[in-house]
Amino acid sequence: MAIVLDPTWKEALEPEFLKPYWQELTAKVRKEYQIKKVYPPAGKILRAFDLCPLDRVKVVIVGQDPYHGAGQANGLSFSVNTGIPLPPSLQNIFKEIQSDMKIEPLPSGDLIRWATQGVLMLNSVLTVLANKPASHGGIGWEQFTDTVIQTLNAKRIHLVYMLWGKYAQTKGESINRDQNLVLTSGHPSPYSAPLFFGNHHFSQCNKYLLNQGVEPIDWR
């Protein structure tokens, strides 16, 4: 799988692409795309990085793996293509934004509008087999995205990390809390939404960014 990636990320992650696990990972993923239905479309696997260069990241929202239904996954965590019904987790994210920020989120579930403002919508696992959640877990993506977080931790400060649920919180254990704002709560899925609602992460995020002299995020 050729690495076509935003130059800032490609330079920072170049050593990773030479490691044996990456070669094994990309060979497996390439084969899966050839013989099975895999999401997101191959050209959008690294979309989160292309829309949000390393030097422009302000916020990191960590998800688990892409949506596994037809037409949903588009390379951004929690995001779906325009015209696709909002999954329950995204519905709950929008509800919290409305409650917290007193604004009405736009109807489209494609969160490109956040990504281009500096929100890295990072899934831990970047591909999935159709109708088989977590099917590409454990094949190497987690090592790669751990390195992404470690790279941000080493090269950037004063970022906001939103870690929803135990999985994301474990993923973010290495983040320097003294130099960044790390916000944690329950996951926005219906099973844990009561632990997500009322977390005020979006307003806390913008307050922190403003205090750092950084343009806040328009969460609509």
The catalytic site residues sit at 65
Name the β-bridge partners of 183: 162
Tokens representing 123 are 């899934």
Quick check: bond before 40 cis, omega within 30? yes
DSSP track, the chain: ------HHHHHHHGGGGGSHHHHHHHHHHHHHHHHS-EES-GGGTTHHHHHS-GGG--EEEEESS---STTT--SSTT---TTSPPPHHHHHHHHHHHHHH-----S---THHHHTTTEEEEESS--EETTBTTTTTTSSHHHHHHHHHHHHHHH--S-EEEEESHHHHHHTTTS-TTTSEEEEE--SSTTTGGGTTT--HHHHHHHHHHHTT-PPP---
